[in-house]
Homo-oligomer: A and B are copies of this chain.
Amino acid sequence: MKIEEEINQKQFRDVYEKVMVNVLFTGSWLQNYNNQFLKDYDLTVQQYNVLRILRGQSPEKIMLNEIQSRMLDRMSNASRLVDKLKNKQLVERKACKHDRRKVDIWITPLGLEVLEKIDAKMADFYEIFYRLTEEESETISHLLDKLRG
């Protein structure tokens, strides 16, 4: 559905206003879609994302700063986000030996297990993306990169 119909706005001042609205709207739409899917696993998009960052690094440990710099929404509070995951026993945290300002964080076996469960259902989730060809997906990615400068 065209963005004009989606938000019931007849027209935009120009294509730039339209693309702005469309990026904002689609981002919000996709985040909702994600959250809906992840609700079964009691995770938010941001929490899931942090778990994936940690898995990508596993079995290496990683510090909070590093997590923050890789997060999709950098405004969320990485420290408390890790807290939540720790409470669910999906990650572990310990002060770094060499530099006691830092904390080492790593994913637990349970965390990996949860991610695997999610992976198993990923095909269903990804279905919507097959509305796009691979080439179209590349095009969006490329142009969004360009927009961010």
Is B136 in contact with A146, judged by CB distance below 8 angstroms? yes
Of B45, B69, B143, which is within 8 A of A24 by CB?
A: B45
Q: Is residue A81 contacting chain B, with contact meaning CB distance below 8 A?
A: no
| Chain B residues within an 8 Å CB radius of A20 | 30, 129
Contact with B along A113-134 (1 / 0, CB 8 A): 0000000000000101111101
Given contacts A69-B8, A71-B7, contact A141 B27 (CB under 8 A): no
Of B14, B18, B138, which is within 8 A of A15 by CB?
A: B138
| Chain B residues within an 8 Å CB radius of A72 | 7, 21, 24-25, 28
Copies held by the complex: 2
Contact with B along A39-55 (1 / 0, CB 8 A): 00000010000000100
Q: Considering the chains assembled together, what is the distance between the CA atoms of A59 and B39 in angstroms? A: 42
A residues with a Cβ closer than 8 A to B are 1-3, 6-9, 14-32, 34, 45, 53, 56, 69-75, 126, 128-132, 134, 136-141, 143-149
Q: What are 5 inter-chain pairs, A to B, with CB distance below 8 A?
A: A8-B69, A128-B147, A131-B149, A132-B146, A136-B143
Can you name 13 extra interface pairs (CB under 8 A) apart from A9-B56, A26-B148?
A1-B149, A6-B148, A7-B72, A15-B141, A16-B132, A18-B141, A21-B72, A22-B145, A23-B23, A23-B140, A26-B144, A129-B147, A140-B140
